[in-house]
Amino acid sequence: MTGQPPTPKPAVLESRELVKLYPKVRAVDGISFAVTEGTCFGLLGPNGAGKSTTIEMMEGLLPPTSGQVLFRGAPLGQRYRERVGIQFQTTALQEFLTTRENLRFFGSLYPRQRPLEELVALCRLEEFLDRDAGKLSGGQRQRLLLAIALVNDPEVLFLDEPTTGLDPQARRNFWDLVQGVKARGKTIVLTTHYMDEAYLLCDEIAIVDHGRIIAQGSPAALLREHFDDSVLELPAPEARKLEGGLQYKEKGDHAEIHTADINGTIARLLAVGASLAHLRIRPRTLEDLFLELTGRELRA
């Protein structure tokens, strides 16, 4: 997407002032946003922020304490479930059924089904199509669960922490699949606590903390809006040589210097005799943004 002004598309899905109260917690405390057709909307936040509760209310599985979810402008009706696909954070499947049988079983619960071959190709299930679903690896399992979420060719796909617990390679593979789904024009709502996942997949994100949205926009716009500097990372002992000359923050065994003037900062470091052997310069990330907004680390 280039930076043209967006033509106003109607929202596929809209949440209005969603609130969910549990006996001792305000899990969701007034969340409103709209998801545009064909885009991927991400709810980014730490564990316990209220992301999963919000997405389950959007899925129509959890009744909100107050507020409303609208699908194409109308309240969620009886047939909403036939038109959306859901992948939960953790899902057990029935034991002793193969990948193929699981797809066939879930498919037959819907009036409209996507052909099996298409699902297999889209989610790359060929190599374990006839294997017992209980014997799949973590990554294979998530691919099967994605295929099950797509079995009815849904208009909206919900992904709740889809790559939590996967190894880096499996996560990357999964992102490829989701981008393939996106390329077919599907609307996606995603929750994650991985900022790289949100940055890569989402057209728009809402950063959620304590049941409220604290920032919202496209990842690039959010970063532009809050930061005009970059981050220099180097080993902590080297940074300490600055001795109060330049501001730095120690994080474990390395230190970070936030600056818009990279040349000047490097010149100062050289002047105090700091080694640049392990210097790393990186742009600001959503992780930094979360820290900036809440004073806490995203993964803490």
Partner 1 sequence: MSNPILASWRRLRAATWARSLEFVRDRSTLGWNIAFPVLLVLGLAYVFSGPGQPMFKVAVLAPPGAALDAGLHPFLGTPQVQFYREEQQPVALHKVQLQRIDMLLDLTATPGRYWINEQSPKGKLLEQLLRGAGGAPLQQEATQGAQVRYVDWVTPGVLGMNMMFSCLFGIGYVIVRYRKSGYLKRLNATPLRASEFLLAQLLSRLALIVLVNGAVFVACRLLLKVRMEGSYLDLLLLVTLAASSMIALGLLVSARIASEELAGGILNVLATPMMVICGVFFSIDGSPHALQLVAQLLPLTHLVNGARAIMLDGAGLAQIAPDLMALAAMSAVYLFLGAALFRWRQA
Interface residues with partner 1 (CB under 8 A) are 59, 61, 79, 81-82, 86, 88, 90-97, 101, 104-106, 108-111, 148
CA–CA dist 256, 151 (Å, integer): 47
Give me the least distance between CB of 158 and partner 1, in Å please.
9
How many residues does the structure list for the chain?
300
Give me the least distance between CB of 108 and partner 1, in Å please.
4
Nearest residue (CB) to partner 1, 96 versus 300: 96
Whole-angstrom CA distances from 60 to 76, 79, 205, 274 are 7, 11, 21, 57
Give me the least distance between CB of 146 and partner 1, in Å please.
13
**What does the H/E/C string look like for 74-93?**
EECCCCHHHHEEEECCCCCC
Nearest residue (CB) to partner 1, 59 versus 204: 59
**AA identity, residue 141:** R
**Residue 71 CA to chain centroid, in angstroms?**
21
Nearest residue (CB) to partner 1, 88 versus 199: 88
Exposed/middle/buried for residue 48 (C-beta within 10 Å: 0-12, 13-18, 19+): middle
Nearest residue (CB) to partner 1, 61 versus 271: 61
Question: Would strands 74-75 and 84-87 be described as parallel, antiparallel, or unpaired?
Answer: unpaired
CA–CA dist 33, 86 (Å, integer): 19
Q: Kindly report the CA angle at 33 between 32 and 39, in degrees rounded to 5? A: 165
Give me the least distance between CB of 7 and partner 1, in Å please.
32
Nearest residue (CB) to partner 1, 186 versus 284: 186
Nearest residue (CB) to partner 1, 65 versus 91: 91
Ordered strands of the 66-71 beta sheet: 25-36, 11-22, 66-71, 74-75
Give me the least distance between CB of 201 and partner 1, in Å please.
21
Give me the least distance between CB of 56 and partner 1, in Å please.
9
Q: Which residues contact 256 (CB under 8 A, 6 or more apart)?
A: 231, 232, 233, 248, 249
Give me the least distance between CB of 89 and partner 1, in Å please.
9
Nearest residue (CB) to partner 1, 2 versus 90: 90
